[in-house]
Amino acid sequence: MAYWDIQVYGTAAESCGDNLKNWSLPLRLQPHARRLLTACWLLAAVALLLLLLGVFRSDYASQRRAAALQRCSRAAVALAFTADRCQLLHSAPPQQRTVYVITPTYRRPEQLAELTRLAQTLMHVPALHWLVVEDAARTTPAVAELLARTGVRYDHLVAPMPEECNILPGSKPRGVPQRNRGLQWIRANASRGVLYFADDDNSYDIRLFEEVRSTERVAMWPVGLIGSYGISTPVVVDGRLAGFYDGWISERKFPVDMAGFAVSVEFLLQRPNAFMPYETGFEEDGFLKSLAPFEPNEIELKANNCSKVLVWHTQTKKNEPSAPLDIKKYNNTNLVLLKKQIV
């Protein structure tokens, strides 16, 4: 006997006592009626389901897209992120100002590791255009492949360090030709947005890019892991700039790190001569000074009045290039493919 039958039987028995047989008999005698009733219930449920599907179907596609976009831009979305979703994110019509991220990079054992980390940070940021500029005469295929996989909007450019700079006494001005190439690209291709110089080896909190995006002219914030003070930042008193805190102030008017400021594209375009000088240690200061007329008291202070660290000047341990592969010994193995991916 089915559960439903027991229920009917029990209920009838309680309410009718001695008339149990009279009540239960007619109910049990009509199984076809119960089957009909069950069928009716099923039909009604299916009809209701179809109705609900009909109501929600029209909204479904747009809801899914909105949900995907929301997931993409939410800070906490992490590991399940796919390039597909990012393409959706980056192909969405930009309602917000684009953040142009200029990244100098060069071939070395750590390069693909650094670019993987940075790419997978940028995949979480909407309305972003990544300008990856190699210190090389030609683009590196492994870098091109990495960029194509990310789903982030990008341009892959080159700007080799001039020979003369490679023999400069002291260290050469790393990343400078590439940053100037990035500026040149922006002048030729953008009319609004914000530019940010993001070296390939730093660590970026994705919240930083929303601070960057809101830059009206020139904005600044703290950078962690710089020099002996462990930080480089504007000093803020009552919401106003009171100076700079940096282990090496020297003669710099703007003693800040490359990762510690952003400039609006509109502002840059009004200054056709702004560029980064080939002067080791003075790249940031020289570039910011080339934005004249512009004074320190005009700096927009971000990251909650410079009270939060959203970017870190991490420095990866340098690795020696890998030992050559014994091709006779490993010819038919996975090592041949792996060796092509490492320096």
Determine how many CB atoms are found less than 10 A away from the CB of residue 281.
13
Please state the closest distance from residue 75 (CB atom) to ligand UGA, in A.
24
Q: Does 284 bind Mn ion (CB under 5 A)?
A: no
Peptide bond into 293 cis (omega under 30): yes
Please identify which residue in the block is written with the tokens 């009004």.
270
Of 315, 322, 331, 333, the residue at the interface with ligand UGA (CB under 6 A) is: 315
CA angle 238, 193, 146 (to 5 degrees): 110
Cα(59)–Cα(65) distance, integer angstroms: 10
Kindly tell me which of 153 and 313 has the beta carbon lying closer to ligand UGA: 313
Residue 284 catalytic?
yes
Q: Does 232 bind ligand UGA (CB under 6 A)?
A: no
Q: Does 199 bind ligand UGA (CB under 6 A)?
A: yes
Please state the closest distance from residue 226 (CB atom) to Mn ion, in A.
10
Which range in 21-29, 32-40, 159-167, 201-209 contacts Mn ion by CB under 5 A?
201-209
Kindly tell me which of 201 and 246 has the beta carbon lying closer to ligand UGA: 201
Q: Does 114 bind Mn ion (CB under 5 A)?
A: no
Phi and psi torsions of 124, nearest 5°: -90, 0
Cα(256)–Cα(268) distance, integer angstroms: 19
Q: Does 184 bind ligand UGA (CB under 6 A)?
A: no
Binding mask 259-298 for ligand UGA (x = CB under 6 A): ---------------------xx-x---------------
Which range in 101-109, 117-125, 150-158, 188-196 contacts ligand UGA by CB under 6 A?
101-109
Cα(288)–Cα(277) distance, integer angstroms: 10
Please give the biggest Cα pair distance in the chain. 112
Cα(128)–Cα(101) distance, integer angstroms: 7
* Residue 211 binding target from Mn ion, ligand UGA, none, CB below 5 to 8 Å by type: none
Which residues does 267 contact at the CB level (< 8 Å), separation at least 6?
A: 216, 217, 218, 291
Cα(26)–Cα(12) distance, integer angstroms: 11
Q: Does 246 bind ligand UGA (CB under 6 A)?
A: no
- DSSP reduced 3-state for 41: helix
Of 201, 246, 283, 285, the residue at the interface with Mn ion (CB under 5 A) is: 201
Of 72, 100, 101, 104, the residue at the interface with ligand UGA (CB under 6 A) is: 104
Which among 165, 193, 187, 190 is positioned nearest to 177, based on CA atoms?
165
Amino acid at 156: H
Using CB atoms, what's the residue nearest to ligand UGA?
175
Which among 275, 254, 252 is positioned nearest to 102, based on CA atoms?
275
Which range in 192-200, 213-221, 261-269, 297-305 contacts Mn ion by CB under 5 A?
192-200
DSSP 225: S
Where along the sequence are the contacts to ligand UGA (CB under 6 A)?
104-106, 135, 171, 173-175, 178, 199-201, 257-258, 280-281, 283, 313, 315
Where along the sequence are the contacts to Mn ion (CB under 5 A)?
199, 201
Residues annotated as part of the active site = 284
